[in-house]
Amino acid sequence: MAQQVAQLVVVRASGHSYDRQIGYPQWEPPTAHLRYLVQELGVGGVLLLGGSALEIHARTQQLQSWAEVPLWIAADVEEGVGQRFAGGVWWPPPMALAEIAAQDLPAACRFAQHMGECTAREALALGVNWLLAPVADVNNNPHNPVIDVRAFGDRPEVVAPLVAHFVQGARTHPVLTTAKHFPGHGDTATDSHLALPVLPFPPERFAALEFPPFQAAIAAGTDAVMTAHVLAPQWDTAIATASPVLVTDVLRHQLGFTGLVVTDALVMAGATARAPAADLAVAALQAGVDVLLMPADPVATIRAVVVAIEAGTLSYGRLVEALNRVWAAKTRMAIGGEDFPSLGEPADWQAVETLLTRSNRHFVPPGWTRPATGVNLVVVEAAPLLEGRSPAVSIPAAVGWPPLLVNHHSLAHLNLETLPPVFLQVFGRGHPFRGDRAPYLKTLQATVQTLVCHQKLSALMVHGSPQVLTPLLPLLPDTCPWGFSYGQQPAAQAIALGPLWAEATASAHAFTD
């Protein structure tokens, strides 16, 4: 029975080739233990994070060679394969499509379909057969610290068709899709990686706002729906992941979903806020969930489920039901993996460039001229990850604006009054485990106010989230240029800087060519 239960478990692993490259040892086992989990224990799948495309290609072949039953190889590729694995196409965040949809919804839907198709095609080339995408949340809470630009917008009438078209595009390949995070994680100000969010809304509100994108994904044929570790007290006293009301009564019966229901990662604090992880795994299966994603201790989790079945607290029939769905999903997916994966067709890169260009925003006052020299102050939420060849650094540097890279903690202690003219660039967006972003935004606001007061601010560029841009715009004088891009990747940086640094962009390109 243990091997049957193990088929319901997906473990996380590093995509890198060597154990010394493991970035998250608390979640990613060394190769010997990973082989044990796959070969001896018989887990159903592996979630990969980190590594280049070629490393992932080799890793997926290795993993499948260990498995008696074909594995799910899953990845969080909400922005395309290149978001996680270097070499693939890295699309802008889904919310960039909402910017297009505000003017041209059919065009945004075409982008979403291309994004889904491209992501599935490239994933399959690497041996990844389960996309933990798309995000179906409606991010209507501007203080949401974790969903943010991962969502396709803040209105269900926009999010629903974009989610559906992503699924339709992805399903042109034998790769699984996942609509997440049911019953909705968009209207929260709490990150479920750190604590348990509460959605105190009545069922009518969910039906009108949270559910339509999931209904659209189901109608489009999504293979899986991922539960959120949130509490919806007007539905149930149990968190959504362990709620028979939400999983079985609502998702299964009311919304008519017959595919896989998978938990969000069981290592998250929102998951374990009310019960130990092993107990939650049993409760989730009792509620109607089929797949347990990323338990902290897979062996203990499998043991707890076996004990619950033997004790009669979890029926064997529920296990069989879940296994039947697991097998049905695995028969639709391909093992994948080309001999030498080819990534990034010209049409894909052109679509990314067009989407970035159309979703960017800029304001340049007539007659504005930039000072000949100054400092390029680049602020990131975490430790600075940009390097000298990053366009956000290299383009200004090419014409006399050297970089000053800081995180928001050191920014608060920077003596801004002594700086020459400043081009302020901010990299900020919602991320798991970051928590409350209010201190970061307050520091940014204080920085802009000081630079404006001392007439030091030459221009502002925000890369990432409108949630970062919005509180800064009212602080700018009418004569101050500014720009915004949803993307943070190198291609996005280069395109975003064009309107503010046209001659510098040309100079940088000439230098690198």
Say if residue 329 is in the same domain as residue 418: no
Residues 6+ apart with CB under 8 A from 328: none
Q: How far apart are CA 259 and CA 443, in angstroms?
A: 46
The mean pLDDT values, 10 residues at a time, for the chain of 513 residues are 96 94 92 97 97 94 96 97 94 97 97 98 96 98 92 98 98 97 94 90 97 98 97 95 97 98 93 85 97 96 97 96 97 78 91 96 92 94 72 93 90 92 93 78 95 96 95 96 95 93 57 36
- For residue 90, give the nearest of 336, 351, 409, 309 by alpha carbon: 351
Say if residue 162 is in the same domain as residue 254: yes
Say if residue 59 is in the same domain as residue 114: yes
Domain extent for 382: 360-512
Q: How far apart are CA 312 and CA 499, in angstroms?
A: 66
- Could you tell me how many residues make up the chain? 513
Say if residue 317 is in the same domain as residue 415: no
Tokens 């006293």 belong to 237
Say if residue 142 is in the same domain as residue 103: yes
Say if residue 262 is in the same domain as residue 383: no
What's the structural domain count of the chain? 2
Residues 6+ apart with CB under 8 A from 233: 198, 200
Q: CA 192, 325, 299 angle in degrees (round to 5)?
A: 60
Residues taking part in catalysis: 193, 264
Q: What is the structure's pLDDT at 274?
A: 79
- For residue 38, give the nearest of 16, 15, 14, 70 by alpha carbon: 70
If phi over 0 gives left and psi between -120 and 50 gives alpha, with beta otherwise, what is residue 470?
alpha
Say if residue 189 is in the same domain as residue 97: yes
Structure tokens of 219?
């109608």
Q: How far apart are CA 275 and CA 296, in angstroms?
A: 14
Structure tokens of 332?
């639709």
- What predicted TM-score, i.e. pTM, was given to this entire model? 0.94
Residue ending a domain, among 309, 344, 379, is 344
Residue ending a domain, among 344, 374, 392, is 344
Q: Is the dihedral of CA 509, 510, 512, 513 positive or negative?
A: positive
Q: How far apart are CA 350 and CA 126, in angstroms?
A: 22
Q: What is the structure's pLDDT at 450?
A: 96
In a domain, 353, yes or no: no
Q: What is the structure's pLDDT at 160?
A: 98
Q: Cβ(462)–Cβ(357) under 8 Å?
A: no
Say if residue 42 is in the same domain as residue 172: yes
Say if residue 374 is in the same domain as residue 310: no
Q: Cβ(223)–Cβ(178) under 8 Å?
A: yes
Q: What is the structure's pLDDT at 504?
A: 58
Residues 6+ apart with CB under 8 A from 164: 216, 217, 219, 220
Structure tokens of 81?
């394969």
Q: Cβ(487)–Cβ(96) under 8 Å?
A: yes
DSSP 8-state class, residue 176: B
Partnered with residue 86 across adjacent β-strands are: 52, 88
DSSP 8-state class, residue 86: B
Say if residue 302 is in the same domain as residue 401: no
In a domain, 128, yes or no: yes
Say if residue 392 is in the same domain as residue 339: no
- CATH number for position 57: 3.20.20.300
- For residue 423, give the nearest of 474, 357, 368, 381 by alpha carbon: 368
In a domain, 352, yes or no: no
Say if residue 372 is in the same domain as residue 502: yes
Is 25 buried (19+), middle (13-18) or exposed (0-12) by CB count in 10 A?
exposed
Is 317 buried (19+), middle (13-18) or exposed (0-12) by CB count in 10 A?
exposed
- CATH number for position 442: 3.40.50.10870
In a domain, 354, yes or no: no
Q: What is the structure's pLDDT at 383?
A: 55
